[in-house]
């Protein structure tokens, strides 16, 4: 079974934003979609809101592209 760690999970686990801040970004993303705007990635929304820097976003994306990031792997161990 393939395992995945969501972008917002990594942000929280790295202490870059709180759960509330991630939820705010998700709500902004949903609101934009509901208003007919194109879907934007949550990392881009978080950068626009000033919650992350572009380098932080890019680092998280790189970690995701290499498999399950270390921060998330502990939750998958049995």
Query: 2 in a domain, yes or no?
Result: no
Alpha carbon distance 1, 22 (integer Å): 26
Give me the pLDDT at residue 1, please.
44
Run of H or E including 57: helix 54-65
Alpha carbon distance 68, 20 (integer Å): 23
Query: 36 in a domain, yes or no?
Result: yes
Alpha carbon distance 65, 50 (integer Å): 23
Run of H or E including 23: helix 19-34
pTM for this predicted structure: 0.82
How many domains does the structure of the chain reveal? 1
Query: 32 in a domain, yes or no?
Result: yes
Could you read off the pLDDT of 5-59 as tens digits, one per residue? 899 999 999 999 999 999 999 999 999 999 999 989 999 999 999 999 999 999 9
Q: Read off the pLDDT band of 78 (50, 70, 90).
A: very low
Give me the pLDDT at residue 76, please.
52
Query: 14 in a domain, yes or no?
Result: yes
Of the candidates 56, 48, 60, which has an alpha carbon nearest to the alpha carbon of residue 24?
Answer: 48
Q: Is the pLDDT of residue 2 over 60?
A: no
Query: 1 in a domain, yes or no?
Result: no
Do the beta carbons of residue 9 and residue 23 sit within 8 Å?
no
């Amino acid at each position: 079974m393939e395992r995945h760690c969501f972008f917002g999970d990594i942000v929280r686990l790295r202490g870059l934003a709180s759960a509330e801040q991630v939820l705010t970004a998700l709500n902004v993303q949903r609101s934009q979609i509901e208003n007919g705007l194109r879907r934007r990635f949550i990392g881009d929304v978080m950068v626009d809101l000033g919650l992350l820097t572009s380098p932080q976003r890019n680092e998280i994306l790189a970690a995701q592209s290499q498999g399950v990031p270390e921060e998330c792997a502990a939750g998958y161990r049995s």
